[in-house]
A and B are shown apart, each in its own frame.
Chain A
Amino acid sequence: QKEVEQNSGPLSVPEGAIASLNCTYSDRGSQSFFWYRQYSGKSPELIMSIYSNGDKEDGRFTAQLNKASQYVSLLIRDSQPSDSATYLCAWLMDSSYKLIFGSGTRLLVRP
């Protein structure tokens, strides 16, 4: 069973701090990884994609991928209360192009 594991949280950080979200996956062949943000009752919104080992930065967000450790993470710098949401890690099955989602980590940014 191909899985994505995330800590459900909640992860609570003060405004302005760095939030660190982590995800592990079971399929060594996975090539494409994504972070989605989901506000309560809303649809997932793509915030980052990463396909190769290392770091990828986009504004306040940095995604990190380590394929040897089967680990992907998301750092949010200068966290804002509006970042409070559930963050979903997902990987794309290359054979079928379907996304496998983790159960998500709830992030709370305290003002």
Chain B
Amino acid sequence: EPEVTQTPSHQVTQMGQEVILRCVPISNHLYFYWYRQILGQKVEFLVSFYNNEISEKSEIFDDQFSVERPDGSNFTLKIRSTKLEDSAMYFCASSDLSRGSYGYTFGSGTRLTVV
């Protein structure tokens, strides 16, 4: 079964440092997403990406966040200057949105801890 791969599984960083979270979506998928889940809270949408550009971003996705698809396989989320409140699980997801397959496939997540 194809899967979305995320690395690292756990990242600890000091407040103010930059982090890059990496994802390899399923190869024939065209739509890519980042979500986050603060401990005990809902899964929240951050950003969607299609055709090499952001298609939508949430209020959470401010100037400290950026996404990139540097090559044909990787999809990254960069947080420029981390804050304590950025501590969360970050999930990458991809979808081909073909008929009958609107559901996403999520990666296993990166647990980000900002200290």
Interface residues of A (CB under 8 A from B): 32, 34, 38, 41-46, 49, 51, 88, 90, 92, 96-104
Evaluate contact between B43 and A88: CB separation under 8 angstroms: yes
For residue A96, which residues in chain B have a CB less than 8 angstroms away from its CB? 48, 55-56
Shortest distance from the beta carbon of A65 to any chain B beta carbon, whole Å:
14
Evaluate contact between A43 and B109: CB separation under 8 angstroms: yes
Give 10 nearest A-B pairs by CB, closest first.
A43-B106, A46-B103, A101-B43, A96-B56, A98-B45, A43-B109, A32-B102, A103-B42, A49-B103, A34-B103
> A42 is contacted by which of B31, B33, B102, B108 (Cβ under 8 Å)?
B108
* Chain B contact residues, majority secondary structure: strand
Interface residues of B (CB under 8 A from A): 31, 33, 35, 41-45, 48, 55-56, 89, 91, 95, 97, 102-109, 111
- Starting from the known contacts A34-B103, A102-B42, 20 additional A-B residue pairs (CB-CB under 8 Å) come to A34-B102, A38-B43, A41-B89, A42-B108, A42-B109, A43-B89, A44-B43, A45-B106, A49-B102, A49-B103, A96-B55, A96-B56, A97-B31, A98-B45, A99-B35, A101-B42, A101-B43, A101-B44, A103-B41, A103-B42
For residue A34, which residues in chain B have a CB less than 8 angstroms away from its CB? 102-103
10 residue pairs of the A-B complex, CB under 8 angstroms, read: A38-B43, A42-B109, A44-B91, A44-B106, A46-B103, A46-B104, A88-B43, A96-B56, A99-B104, A101-B43
